[in-house]
Amino acid sequence: MRARPYLLAGAALLVATLSLWVGPSLSGAAGDFVLLQLRLPRLLVGALVGATLGISGAAFQAVFNNALATPSTVGTTAGATLGALLVLAFDASGGPFGVSLLTVAAFAGALFTTLLVSGLSASGRLSKNDVLLAGIAVTLAASALASGVQFASDARALVAAAQWSLGQLPQVGYRGVFLIAPFATTTLLGLLALGRPLQNLAMGEDLAQTQGVDVARLRFWVLLVASLGVAACVAWCGPIAFVGLIVPNLIRMLVGSSLRSLLPLSFLGGAAFLVVCDAVARVVLPGRELPVGVITAALGAPALVFLVSRAHRE
C-alpha cells in the first residue's frame, strides 16, 4: 500500500512520455518538426491542462465534501464559454501580446464568474451547499447569456463556437505551454500548501473550524487558486469535460482519500489521463482528429457509471 502512490506516479509519467510516439512514424525530413514543434508542445499542454483539472477537481471535491464536484462547479467553464462566444459572435480579432482576443475574453469570463462565487463564499455566512448552489446559478446564468449570444450569431460563428466548446489540444510551437505553465504552477503549489487544512474538512466544517481552520477563508483561497489555473486552461483549450471529475475519483479508489497523496497524484494522474486521451484522439479515426473532449467524455462517462455502481455494492 505504501509503494502504490510511487508506482502510480511512475506509471503516469511513463505513459505520458510514451504517447509522443503514438501516431504516424517520425522518419523523414519532417520527423523532427513533427516531434519537437507539434507533438511535444501538444503533450506538454495536455499534461499541464490535465494536471490542473485533476488537482483542482480533487481540491473542489474536498472543499464541498462532494465526490461530484468538478473544477467547473463554481462557474469557471461557463464564464469562459460566454467570453469566447462573445468574441466569436462579434467576429472580433486582435488581442494583446500576440494572444488571441478569444483566449483573453475566455480567461476574463472564467475569472469573473469564479470571483463572483468565491467572493460570496468568503462571507462565511454561506454553507458549502449555498456556495454550490451559487455556482450552479452562475453557471446557468452564464449559459443562458451564451445561448442568447449564439442565437444572435451567424452560421460561421456557430460552427466555431461548437468546435471551441469541445476542447482541443493541437498546437504549433510552445506559446500555450508558456501561457499556461505559470497559472498551472500557481494552482499546484497553492493547492498543495492548502492540503493540510483541506483535510480537516473531511470530518465536517464545524469540527474543522474548532480545530483551528478558518473555513470561509480556506474556501475562498481554494476556489481562487484552483480557478486561476482552470481559467487559463479553459481559455487556451476550451472546456475539456470529465478529467476533473473522473481522475480524483479514480485515484481515491486506488490510494484512499488522504489528501497528502490524493492531491499530487490527481495532478500526475490528470496529466497522464489527458495525454493518453489525446493520443487516442489522434489515431482513432485514420486521417482525422477527434476533439479530445469527445474522448475524455467517452472514456470518462462509463468509468463514472462503473464507479457509482461499485459504490452502491459496497
Partner 1 sequence: MLLRLENIVVTRRGRALLDGVSLALEPGQLLALLGPNGAGKTTLLRVALGLLSPESGQAWLGERPLSGMSTRERAACVAWLPQHSASAEALRAVDVVASARYRFDEPFARAESAARAALSRVGVAAVAERALATLSGGERQRVALAGLLAQDAPILLVDEPANHLDPAQQIDVYRLLGELWQQGRSVVCVTHDVNLLRHLGAPNDVRVAGVANGKLAFECAFSDPRLAPELGALFGVQMRELTLGDARVLLPEPRA
Residues binding partner 1 (CB under 8 A): 65, 196-197, 199-200, 202-204, 206-214, 252, 256-258, 260
Helix (H) or strand (E) holding 8: helix 4-18
Handedness of CA 137, 143, 148, 149 (dihedral sign): positive
**CA nearest 277: which of 266, 289, 287?**
289
Neighbours of 190 (CB within 10 A): 18
CB of 213 to partner 1, least distance (A): 6
Name the CA dihedral angle for 218, 135, 163, 236, rounded to a multiple of 10 degrees.
-20
Measured from the CB atom, the residue of 1 and 155 that comes closer to partner 1 is 1
d(CA 67, CA 251): 12
CB of 257 to partner 1, least distance (A): 4
Measured from the CB atom, the residue of 155 and 314 that comes closer to partner 1 is 314
Handedness of CA 229, 232, 235, 238 (dihedral sign): negative
Measured from the CB atom, the residue of 183 and 221 that comes closer to partner 1 is 221
Cβ neighbourhood burial of 240 (10 Å; 0-12, 13-18, 19+) = buried
CB of 211 to partner 1, least distance (A): 5
Measured from the CB atom, the residue of 17 and 211 that comes closer to partner 1 is 211
| Residue partners of 83: CB distance under 8 A and separation at least 6 | 105, 106, 107, 108, 109, 110, 112, 235
CB of 58 to partner 1, least distance (A): 13
Measured from the CB atom, the residue of 142 and 213 that comes closer to partner 1 is 213
Measured from the CB atom, the residue of 56 and 249 that comes closer to partner 1 is 249
CB of 312 to partner 1, least distance (A): 14
d(CA 120, CA 194): 20
CB of 272 to partner 1, least distance (A): 22
CB of 218 to partner 1, least distance (A): 10
In degrees and rounded to multiples of 5, residue 242 shows phi and psi of: 80, -25
Q: Quick one: three-class SS letters along 196-261?
A: HHHHHHHHCHHHHHHCCCCHHHHHHHHHHHHHHHHHHHHHHHCCCCCHHHHHHHHHHHHHCCCHHH
CB of 11 to partner 1, least distance (A): 22
Q: Which residue has the cell 488522504?
A: 258
Measured from the CB atom, the residue of 156 and 217 that comes closer to partner 1 is 217
Measured from the CB atom, the residue of 213 and 250 that comes closer to partner 1 is 213
Query: How far is Cα of residue 11 from the mean position of the Cα atoms in its chain?
Result: 21
